[in-house]
Structure 1
Amino acid sequence: MLPALIQNIHRFHDYVNEILKESGGTFEFKGPLFGNMDMVITCDPTNIQHIFSKKFSNYPKGPEFRKIFEILGDGIFNADFELWELHRRTTLSLMSSEKFYSSLERSVWQKVETGLIPVFDKFLEQGFDFDFDLQHIIQRFAFDNICQLMLNYDPGSLSPDLPEIRCERALSDALEPLLHRHILPETVWKVQKWLEIGNEKKLLEAWEAFDDFIYPRISLEDNNSDNIFEAFTKAYHESENIEFSGDLKHFLRDTFLNLLVAGRDSLSTGLTWFFWLISKNPSVEIKIREEIETVLQINEKWRYFSVEESHKLVYLQAALFETIRLFPPIALEHKVPIEPDVLPGGNVYVDHNTKVIISFYSTGRMESVWGKDCLEFKPDRWILPGGGGVRHESAFKFPVFNAGPRTCLGKKMAIIEMKMVAAFIVYHFQVHVIEGHPVSPRDAVILHAKHGLRVRLSRIRNCIKA
């Protein structure tokens, strides 16, 4: 089966989706002998519930996952058991406070005012014929915002001159090599790493860029209780029976890098696909604009709304959920069982060393899960009858924010950020996607648009606060 996979690697997610559609949601991939490439690929909600909830303890991230994502070190994405509990407990305590959401609100609107508005104004000065990559602009916004929120440091990547910041660029450069590590035999990518060639050279360069950016900004002497490093330093020193792979500073580097990846890519990926989809569905865009004006009572004079007010934007949230159903920021998950198991969906046997690849991308595109209109962009499917709010769907059917005990701790934060930025742009600007511009998912773990999102901008209203 390997030749067919290599032939379609340039369209990996859609190729997997086609296979899963034909095979009823679960497929056994057989690799070459001695290649350790046998995999079970699934998008079946029954299997997702089995792996992420019912048999959670049998499906840790495990050594194979840590090997592939070694760049993330001892961060929460790689962590299992006691180390994962430490991350979860500490992160949850930080993100559940009112002070955190006050900081989030302040950080988002400050970056809109000091970054997004000046950059968009500069683009508009170039005239309507000027086009740019909206995905890259939102990535810069998200990068600056998460750095400000977690490090109390604004790297200023979103400013009119668009300065090159290696760490911000490296976050994109690392994604394709990480996907290829899932697919290629381990010996192949390990040889590439040893020789420092190909995708592995890009990954090593990204690793260096992360270290150069993060280490100088880790302050172990800062006694500010709002500092994320203060909380994790305390957790590190109080931990027992946890074997870390490095010292405290290394652990803090890993912790922030994981939060940086999550904070940047959930926001930027979701919004990129959102603006592409509403450009193809102008009636949705009109309804979002009307909701902003009616529900928030914003008319000619714009005002920055609060976190609490953002919850009132029901239709906007429905449109965002519909976006990430079709284009989940994290497209797949990788598990290896500790003990042999049988997946209930398809009754498939998995050995203790068999990789299980869960395609969240395909789950959102299965007719058996979402109905015959599963490929259509229909925000109304998320609205409760009578317009009473956003419909709740099982996390196993809608695993965009993961599921079970490892459900994303930043779900609420991501939804709020997406609403704020989307509402600001939709209310003030018309985004015109360049006709003929190719838009397809990138072959990476994070579902960026492969060729970006080239757009032109026109102004609907001036960016004036009340």
Structure 2
Amino acid sequence: CLSGMDILLTVDPVNIHYILSSNFANYPKGMEFKKIFEVVGDSIFNVDSGLWEDMRNSSHTIFSNQDFQMFWVSTSVSKLRQGLVPILENAADKNILVDLQDLFQRFLFDTSLILMTGYDPKCLSVEMPKVEFGDAVDGVSDGVFYRHVKPVFLWRLQYLIGVGVEKRLKRGLAVFDQLLEKIIMAKREEINSHGTHHPSRGEAIDVLTYYMTMDTTKYKYLEPSDDRFIKDTILGFLIAARDTTSSALTWFFWLMSKNPEAINKIRQEVNKKMPRFDPADLEKLVYLHGAVCETLRLYPPVPFNHKSPAKP
């Protein structure tokens, strides 16, 4: 392998089920994975064992929280109506070409950062401004991708001297570090001024607030008082949410543009089963769900997964 790693590739569903499900405990991410993804530190995507268990359980708690889900819906709908739709209407009126992937990345970055921290970077507007934060995510994502095909000594050297994609990765991390440092500081001041406050039912809560006010007695390995841990956690979620979903949406609409019959069926299903938008009715949209799943099958946003056997 060009990257210097000893790799065995498999696409057999039986093998994948064995590795990711039935014998999951024997296949942690491994040290090679940690080297490549060291930029996200101790986020859920880069840890194993007890810390991974704590991260999974804590993230499941917040993401399944009804108030957070309502916050998720209201944030997405607001950005859709006030950001995405006006841009598309403006493009249609003026016959302007639109880069859908860039548009969806902006949409997802805005909504994700609001959900993660409560802060709106306002990337999504008719002016389509150049946003430093978006470039920072691209720099980190590109750097991580190319680490898969480069020898470790090469990308480490490039990172050290600051050249190529590693230079962009390093710059992107610095931008995010500064941004998240300001957000975390402001959030701590807000929490301290009001005392440790656990949001009541019906009150919107972002992921940052959740982790900074969580009951740490429930988790053995989490360190929400450590700013580095908080930064790693938020950065990991941001990268995952922005790039994967925007990629899936881009491919979905491209496939729809090639299949007008599918568009008609989706419209008919939506008009019949969800004439007024209600998230609770989404499960009724069977054809739409199937179309999204087929998109993910044909063009998976995360096409491969690293695992390293603990035992032969």
The normalised TM-score by structure 1 is 0.60
| Deviations, residues 67-107 of structure 1 (Å, cap 9, x unaligned) | 10011111110111111112111111111122122112111
| Deviations, residues 402-435 of structure 1 (Å, cap 9, x unaligned) | xxxxxxxxxxxxxxxxxxxxxxxxxxxxxxxxxx
Q: In structure 2, what is the equivalent of residue 150 of structure 1?
A: 116
Aligned residues: 299
- Aligned residue for 1:42, secondary structure, equals coil
1, 14, 19: which one aligns with 1:46: 14
Q: Does 1:163 align with 2:129?
A: yes
Q: Does 1:272 align with 2:258?
A: no
- Aligned residue for 1:105, secondary structure, equals helix
Which is helix-richer, 1 or 2?
A: 2
Q: Does 1:95 align with 2:63?
A: yes
Asked if the contact 2:30–2:308 (Cα under 8 Å) also holds between the matched residues in 1, the reply is yes
Alignment of 1:305-316 (within 5 A): 305-316=277-288
266, 291, 297: which one aligns with 1:288: 266
1:124 CA displacement? 2.3
172, 177, 181: which one aligns with 1:211: 177
Q: 1:339 to 1:41 in 2, by over 3 A?
A: same
CA RMSD of aligned residues (A): 2.2
- Unaligned runs of 5+ residues in structure 1 are 1-30, 298-302, 341-466
Separation of aligned partners in 2, 1:101 and 1:241: 26
47, 59, 84: which one aligns with 1:79: 47
Q: 1:314 to 1:84 in 2, by over 3 A?
A: same
288, 294, 302: which one aligns with 1:330: 302
Separation of aligned partners in 1, 2:108 and 2:77: 12
Q: In structure 1, what is the equivalent of residue 73 of structure 2?
A: 105
**Which amino acid in structure 2 is aligned with residue 185 of structure 1?**
P
User: Between the two proteins, what is the percent identity of the paired residues?
Assistant: 36
Q: In structure 2, what is the equivalent of residue 424 of structure 1?
A: none
Alignment of 1:222-237 (within 5 A): 222=191, 223-225=196-198, 226-234=205-213, 237=216
Separation of aligned partners in 1, 2:282 and 2:197: 29
Asked if the contact 2:117–2:209 (Cα under 8 Å) also holds between the matched residues in 1, the reply is no
Alignment of 1:336-375 (within 5 A): 336-340=308-312
Asked if the contact 1:270–1:328 (Cα under 8 Å) also holds between the matched residues in 2, the reply is yes
Separation of aligned partners in 1, 2:60 and 2:139: 29
Asked if the contact 1:101–1:307 (Cα under 8 Å) also holds between the matched residues in 2, the reply is no
1:239 CA displacement? 7.4
1:209 CA displacement? 1.9
1:109 CA displacement? 0.9
| Deviations, residues 158-181 of structure 1 (Å, cap 9, x unaligned) | 011112222222222322321221
Which is strand-richer, 1 or 2?
A: 1
Asked if the contact 2:197–2:213 (Cα under 8 Å) also holds between the matched residues in 1, the reply is no
Separation of aligned partners in 2, 1:272 and 1:284: 16
1:122 CA displacement? 2.1
Separation of aligned partners in 1, 2:215 and 2:48: 15
Asked if the contact 1:233–1:248 (Cα under 8 Å) also holds between the matched residues in 2, the reply is no
1:240 CA displacement? 7.3
Separation of aligned partners in 1, 2:255 and 2:300: 14
Asked if the contact 1:90–1:231 (Cα under 8 Å) also holds between the matched residues in 2, the reply is no
1:236 CA displacement? 8.5
Separation of aligned partners in 1, 2:306 and 2:53: 19
